[in-house]
Amino acid sequence: MRSYKEIRGILQERITSQQWQPGDLLPSEQALSEEFGCTRSTVNRAMRELADAGLVERRRKAGTRVVQPKSHPATISIPVIRQEIENKDQSYKYLLLERLEALPPEDVRTQLGLEQNEKALFLKSLHYGDGIPQQLDVRWINISALPEASQESFADIGPNEWLLQRVPHPNIEHVFRADKATAEEQRLLQLQECEPVFTIERRTWISGQGITYVRLVHPGSRYRMATRSSAIPTFN
Amino acid sequence: MRSYKEIRGILQERITSQQWQPGDLLPSEQALSEEFGCTRSTVNRAMRELADAGLVERRRKAGTRVVQPKSHPATISIPVIRQEIENKDQSYKYLLLERLEALPPEDVRTQLGLEQNEKALFLKSLHYGDGIPQQLDVRWINISALPEASQESFADIGPNEWLLQRVPHPNIEHVFRADKATAEEQRLLQLQECEPVFTIERRTWISGQGITYVRLVHPGSRYRMATRSSAIPTFN
DNA sequence: ACATTTTTTATGTATAGACATTAAGTGATT
DNA sequence: AATCACTTAATGTCTATACATAAAAAATGT
């Protein structure tokens, strides 16, 4: 008797080995359940997970087809910078550079969904690994959504970490860029002439309400973002 | 009667609203099935999908707990550059700069898993949008794994696109970086002084056998990588 | 007090069966 | 040939039930 995992593995193998090619129709759940000697439910779960993984597409009545991918998937996990530094066995240091409540610029205001004259919390902080600057965090926080932020000094904990604890499961949008460093960035991050920065721009919100808008700026020579391993699963 | 999607939505709401906080134990499937008036299977599916999404962690006997996230997830889809250009309604042009079979450098050799004196196919190509260079593709292909590549001129189709069709579902590993441009990159991509490049490094393989190793080099000022929308689902 | 065994319990998986939903295919009608 | 309604086939979901498995908790023995 075959488990859904075994079946999923067999089907995946037939697809990646191109025994079944993009566009090809897979046998119906009915047919496969007979082939594998199990119920349709079991096959259903196997095929559903392959669909979740993007290997096949399923449509009622039309059946299940192997997908012709049009792009390469990549899933990234962006840890809090302290984690990243400590994982490299470096000493972590955090420095708050600026903290004030002010009217954000227009673009940030709309990103956070604030009123015309609503103030937000502005934070600028720097994170070191072994005494070398690794990340500049320039951030606006919506204090209407998070009044506790006004009470927090951020002297001892980075805003990223603080927010991750306080608002654990927001919606997120990221933009990644390679930028020329501004003069300030060059000074703060101790960059060499012409050294670029790797920028992560992040916007988070919960049910339509903006939480934070941040630019995480990294020295190009000291930062890389990598996908854990393979994109195609590798399930469990 | 509630569907697993409704239940999943209700549980998700209770988590994101922090009615259930990180570390909290959720009610058992049994208890929830009574609350929602359905069978345990239905609750199981709802909770399982929340676990897949990373919102909760489940362990036999111990139950289901809300996760305290330690990082921000981001899933990216990297389309073939032609798609990306045409989606912006720009005219696409492709130019093959170099094509030769040669011994790859040591690091590439190990990445592809080649023998000491095994040759590989080297390709260098440039992709334009509206006449402006957008991507430089510098690539090695394992011709032992893909003998057809030797027969392909790559005069009319980019290697990325060709490979996506030929090897649709490989394993993938990505590294993203902000780099200083080399002199050659500066010339080919028509970069300004000090303009950085956004580099995507990709390694693909199937069942241990290396397929390709590539550096996709983009002008920093003309490239951004973005996550589609939210990281936390947004399911179906 | 500590280690070992047993019990218990929540999740994990499978089954057999039912009905729902979607959309492809078919055939009749215009 | 185009449009309509009807049939049908494949996936989608749910139920009720059973047994498996992992690990926490309790009971037992030393």
Residue A229 has pLDDT above 80, yes or no: no
Domains of chain A, CATH where assigned: 4-66 (1.10.10.10), 81-222 (3.40.1410.10)
Comparing alpha-carbon positions, the chain B residue that sits nearest to A234 is B171
CA-closest candidate to residue A182, choices B194, B222, B197, B182: B194
| DSSP per residue, A148-165 | HHHH---SSS-HHHHHHH
Is residue B105 helix, strand or coil?
coil
Determine the residue type at A198: F
Burial of A90 (0-12, 13-18, 19+ CB in 10 A): middle
Helices (H), B113-166: 148-151, 159-166
Q: Kindly provide the ipTM of the predicted complex, given to two decimals.
A: 0.91
Decide: A114 and A120 in contact? Cβ < 8 Å: yes
| DSSP per residue, B158-208 | -HHHHHHHHS-S-EEEEEEEEEPPPHHHHHHTTPPTT--EEEEEEEEEETT
- Scanning residues 59 through 88 of protein chain B, those with a beta carbon under 7 Å from any atom of strand C turn out to be 59-64
Q: What are phi and psi for residue B112, nearest 5 degrees? A: -85, -10
The continuous run of DSSP H or E covering A32 comes out as helix A29-36
B20 CA vs D15 C1’ separation (Å) = 29
Reported as a pLDDT band with limits 50, 70 and 90, residue B231 is very low
Reported as a pLDDT band with limits 50, 70 and 90, residue A1 is low
- Over residues B215-223, the mean pLDDT reads 97
Decide: A125 and A94 in contact? Cβ < 8 Å: yes
Average predicted confidence (pLDDT) for chain B? 94
Q: For A21-32, write each residue's pLDDT tens digit.
A: 999 999 999 999
Q: Does any strand C atom come closer than 7 Å to the Cβ of B48?
A: yes
- Over residues B187-198, the mean pLDDT reads 96
- Scanning residues 58 through 87 of protein chain A, those with a beta carbon under 7 Å from any atom of strand C turn out to be 59-62
Query: What residues have CB less than 8 Å from A64, skipping those under 6 apart?
Result: A25, A26, A28, A47, A51, A56, A57, A58
C12 closest protein residue (CA to C1'): B60
Beta bridge partners of A117: none
The continuous run of DSSP H or E covering B118 comes out as none
Looking at residue B208, the DSSP 8-state letter turns out to be T
User: What are B188's two structure tokens?
Assistant: 């080919």
Q: How many CB atoms lie within 10 A of CB A150?
A: 11
> What is the structure's pLDDT at B76?
93
Dihedral sign from CA coordinates of A111, A79, A229, B125:
positive
Cα separation, A46 vs A48, in Å, equals 6
Residue B23 has pLDDT above 70, yes or no: yes
| B179 vs A contacts (CB less than 8 Å) | 178, 196, 220
A161-to-A19, A156, A168, A189 alpha-carbon distances in Å: 47, 11, 10, 20
Residue B45 has pLDDT above 60, yes or no: yes
Instruction: Print the SS3 string covering B2-54.
Output: CCHHHHHHHHHHHHHCCCCCCCCECCCHHHHHHHHCCCHHHHHHHHHHHHHCC
- The verdict on a CB contact (< 8 Å) between B18 and A168 is yes
Nucleotides of C under 7 A from a protein CB: 8-18, 20-24
Cα separation, A189 vs A138, in Å, equals 13
Q: How many CB atoms lie within 10 A of CB A182?
A: 11
- Over residues B4-31, the mean pLDDT reads 96
Closest Cα in chain B, distance from residue A87 (Å): 13
Residue A2 has pLDDT above 90, yes or no: no
- The verdict on a CB contact (< 8 Å) between A231 and B171 is yes
Length in residues, chain B: 236
Closest Cα in chain A, distance from residue B232 (Å): 6
**What is the end-to-end Cα distance of chain A in Å, rounded?**
20
| B18 vs A contacts (CB less than 8 Å) | 168
Determine the residue type at B218: H
Q: Are strands B132-141 and B120-129 parallel, antiparallel or unpaired?
A: antiparallel
Cα separation, A203 vs B68, in Å, equals 19
Cα separation, B41 vs B218, in Å, equals 49
Q: Are strands B92-102 and B71-79 parallel, antiparallel or unpaired?
A: unpaired
Residue B11 has pLDDT above 60, yes or no: yes
Token pair 């009217």: residue: A103
Average predicted confidence (pLDDT) for chain A? 94
Residue A233 has pLDDT above 80, yes or no: no
User: What are B6's two structure tokens?
Assistant: 């409704």
Q: Are strands A120-129 and B56-59 parallel, antiparallel or unpaired?
A: unpaired
Q: For A73-114, write each residue's pLDDT tens digit.
A: 999 999 999 999 999 999 999 999 999 999 999 999 999 999
Query: What residues have CB less than 8 Å from A176, skipping those under 6 apart?
Result: A198, A199, A200, A201, A225, B176, B198, B224, B225, B226
CA-closest candidate to residue A136, choices A149, A148, A127: A127
Q: For B103-150, write each residue's pLDDT tens digit.
A: 999 999 999 999 999 999 999 999 999 999 999 999 999 999 999 999
| B168 vs A contacts (CB less than 8 Å) | 18, 21-22, 66-69
> What is the structure's pLDDT at A231?
42
Q: How many CB atoms lie within 10 A of CB B151?
A: 6
> What is the structure's pLDDT at A207?
86
